[in-house]
Amino acid sequence: MNSPRVRTVFEAADIDRVLTRISHEIIEGAKGAQDLVLLGIQSRGVPLADRIGRRISEFEKVDVPVGALDITMYRDDLRLRPARALETTALPDVGVDGRIVVLVDDVLFSGRTVRAALDALNELGRPRVVRLAVLIDRGHRELPIRADYVGKNLPTSLQESVRVRLAELDGEDAVTLSSGGQSPRGGPNPGGEVA
């Protein structure tokens, strides 16, 4: 086994620029900020949704409702590990019915998290449209799911792991790629890696 090599692929300024671009793309796709609701997937999707929400509010001069979605209860691998602690699901007061909902997550990997999020959303209401925004798309999809807004496509091998660090949770903004030493999916992932 070789020891893990960690490489920073995205720095704070890169994350900033990319979020600004995604914010513009969301406004463009929704033809304004009316009816928009941003939902961050726990845990690192939540601060990302907040940041995008703040940018859109600034650009369009309207308040964009932002919420948080915990998908733990909808995961398809619950029976593979001990029961897990839950995180907060907080919907904005306006709800999601008839809205354009943008799900926000840090890394798109197998697509299973997004599938679980769609199931969770289904029981919270009936959005008009659901879109997906991710900071990093690392490939290796296991389900027919794709993102509408991607910060960066990052080709990876299954032996590598992608880690997103955000100032709100980790004290700094960075995306790192480490190779070797980490077990691929199915094994214990390091914090921050999301499929």
Partner 1 sequence: MKRHLLSAADLSHSDALLVLDTAAQLARVADRPVKKLPTLRGRTVVNLFFEDSTRTRISFEAAAKRLSADVINFSAKGSSVSKGESLKDTALTLEAMGADAVVVRHGSSGAPHRLASSGWIGGSVVNAGDGTHEHPTQALLDAFTLRENLVGGEGDLTGKKVTIVGDVLHSRVARSNVLLLSTLGADVTLVAPPTLLPIGVETWPCKVSYDLDPVIPESDAVMMLRVQLERMTDSYFPTAREYSRRYGLDNHRMSLLSERSIVMHPGPMNRGMEITADVADSKRSVIVEQVANGVSVRMAVLYLLLGGNAPAATPINEPSEGI
47 vs 53 by CB, closer to partner 1: 47
| Cα(185)–Cα(195) distance, integer angstroms | 9
Residues between 12 and 41 that touch partner 1 (CB under 8 A): none
Stretch in the footprint of partner 1 (CB under 8 A) among 20-28, 32-40, 47-55, 111-119: 111-119
Least Å distance, CB 29 to partner 1, is 26
Three-state DSSP class for 190? coil
60 vs 170 by CB, closer to partner 1: 170
Stretch in the footprint of partner 1 (CB under 8 A) among 19-27, 58-66, 86-94, 145-153: 86-94
| 85 interacts with partner 1 by CB under 8 A | yes
Q: Which residues, listed in sequence order, are joined to residue 165 by a DSSP beta bridge?
A: 174
Cis check: omega of the bond before 23, within 30 degrees of 0: no
61 vs 79 by CB, closer to partner 1: 79
Q: Which of 23, 110, 156, 178 binds partner 1 (CB under 8 A)?
A: 110
Amino acid letter, 80: L
* 8-state DSSP, 185: B
9 vs 124 by CB, closer to partner 1: 124
| Cα(128)–Cα(10) distance, integer angstroms | 34
| Cα(7)–Cα(177) distance, integer angstroms | 5
Residues between 65 and 84 that touch partner 1 (CB under 8 A): 70, 73-84
Phi, psi values for residue 47, rounded to 5°: -65, -30
Least Å distance, CB 180 to partner 1, is 19
22 vs 70 by CB, closer to partner 1: 70
Residues between 113 and 172 that touch partner 1 (CB under 8 A): 113, 116, 119, 123-125, 169
Closest CA to 7 of 182, 190, 160, 137: 160
Closest CA to 110 of 164, 184, 4: 184
CA trace torsion 93, 94, 99, 102 (10° rounding): -30
Number of residues near partner 1 (by CB under 8 A): 38
Per CB under 8 A, residues contacting partner 1 are 43-44, 70, 73-89, 107, 109-110, 112-113, 116, 119, 123-125, 169, 188-189, 191-195
